[in-house]
Structure 1
Amino acid sequence: MVSLRVEGLRKSFPGVVALDGIDLNVREGEYVVILGPTGAGKTTLLKTIAGLARQDSGHIYFDQQRVDTLMPFQRSVAYLPQNYSLFAHLTVWDNVAFGPTVQDWSPRRRDQIVREMLNLVHLSDRRNSYPRELSGGMQQRVALARALATQARILLLDEPLRALDARLRLELRQELRTLAKYLGITTLHVTHDQEEAISVADRIVIIRKGKVVQAGSPKEVYEDPSTPFVSNFIGEANFLQGLLSRVEDGFSVIMLSDGRHVMGRPTNVPVNSQVVLGVKTDFCNVYHGKVEGQNSFTGTVVRSLFTGKRTTLEIQTGQGLLKAKVPSDQSLSEGSEATLRFQPENGIVYPIPNEGLQVALEVE
């Protein structure tokens, strides 16, 4: 197993800064998901680590050894691109054997590793098939086996499940993690799918506009998002703007535009500052009719979105449109009077972003 360290990585294209001083540490055998919106720099980061793109500045280390001066084939990295790039004229066996063959492995060693990889991805019985004869999930497994057949030290997965249907994505994302853990290979998995990231990662690194905005366990980035953008990107959140009146008894007290006060977690933001309080829609409760109490907002249900076990309710209140995800058996019909309520410990207080809240929340 090998560790990975990236220091101050910068990469620009004409008119675009793809990587803007990226710092990243990945422990031996860790499964790290790089998450961010389209255009955030995720693929450029993987290609730079793999040696397929040259950084403008910064350095890359494997086990404290600098590798950014090495050619791609010298880095011992397995890179799986979004489109798999299987050779249509080669069988499954020959696709997987391609890397060991061009590296001039002995036939005995090559055949042994190909057999092992096909067994790992459960495709030994399709060794003589061509890519066109395989399902999307099988093609993904072949591409993974081919990437791993060179016995690389680091696995780089670029949107590995993007081309698959929803049901197959659910099945294969756990297979990817299980296989990587079984092999003990250090893995970077790029995706823009928040649910995918949360379900497979040891740690999530969130990138926006070429910069790391937060890194932590799935639980940390979900329950303690560092910015309004992260709060709304990992899941969905409501935001209330106001003036921080005081911090007392372990809670922040915020005065809203209508003079009401709401409470949230304590903050280091100076008192009398303009702030925004964010609360996940998952952490909001909804009651029928008007209910008085702290952090309560009464309005009308204007939309009800059924998604199975959970239903998203959109409630028009005096503070604008607020949302809550509730168990479907507790849902309310559109047009109903309802009260949305949340506990102070679930409200996170942020300083108002310099660019304004709406711009800060934009997904490019």
Structure 2
Amino acid sequence: MESKNNIHSYSYPSAVLSLFEHLNHHVSDKYTFFRTIAEKRREQVLVLAPWLKERDLSVVFSSDAYRKVCSSNLQMDDFEFEVEQSGLKHFQHWMEFWCAYEIYQVHKKYRKSECLQSVGYLPNDQNQYVSETIEDIASDQRLFQTFHSNYAMSLPDAITLINLDLFVRHEKWYEMLLCLHLSQSGTHFLLTHHSQAHPYPIIISSALIQGWNRRSDWLSYHPSFQSPRWNFCLENQRQMELEQVFMLQGVEPQAFSNVADFEHDFESRLHNKEEICEILRLTISGEDRQKLFFLYIAQRYLAQQVVDAGFRYSLTIIDQPLMLRFYDNTHFDAYFHSSYCDINENKTLTFKGFWNNKIMLRAFLETDFRTYKRHIMKQRQKEQGDMYA
């Protein structure tokens, strides 16, 4: 959830722009083209380095094995190999090239539009921000401004650009390129600021909200998030809480040794399906000095939106320490883990868990921003103390 707030960093050398247009002229299905080459190279990397099978794409495509295989045209036709090699003259690897191309494609639609004044520092007053849940952003006709471009854009394009910049370009979550369509449609939370100084609403935060009707797109239930590398850690008390809220009556809680068994059981016996959703891709844009404030109000308004929508619990996937520190240092019991994994074995844990939405909302309604910062600082100090104990 980090923005460098530098829209000029999207400028590319003329050779790169020519390569992008070469692709546009000769390739009709760009997604299939990029994905095919990515899959071919990943398969070749795993032959040389099978231990990378469970690692994410940023690790696979930054490996020595990748550098070895991309010097060969094995399983590549002449055009694929030509484009790949041309791209590697300007980018570290294929996924970085793919991300840059997608960002270019979004901006290309608006290059003849009016160039707007950049967004700078905004008020630290939560009452000057507006939240809403949009059932299908693809049908929204409004234009929005972001911290990531000087052009007003349609909502699907704005959210796509934000996700590309924050998650793919900066956080190296290249897996998102394989499901970028989820940034262009479906139900999204939106936090905006409206100002006379700017003709269009400014997007501060967005998030994808998927109810049971979009269960097939839940990242929580993707095979890579249910592998044996995920450590099941749901406490018995929390399991009983979920049983009481969601499960068919008269079924005793079971003991589970892994996350896949628990989630299969949870899914098969889920009773009140309309009361659970998955929240993903929470973005925070803005100047660095305002990021923590925006994170605070985004969670506050997001909790309000999911409660208003009738969701009692929300599945989450979180690796952001700032979010987890607040949850761990309050007495509200608004969040609990179900499993965790050190995906790339770099001592960075990613947690799957649940928001209790009503309690989360109460936690933020009863916690002002100053207290929120204090909770985060106290938890950070505790973590540092535990590290050196």
TM exceeds 0.5? no
Structure with higher strand content:
1
Which one has a larger percent helix, Structure 1 or Structure 2?
Answer: 2
TM-score (norm 2): 0.23
TM superposition score normalised by structure 1: 0.24
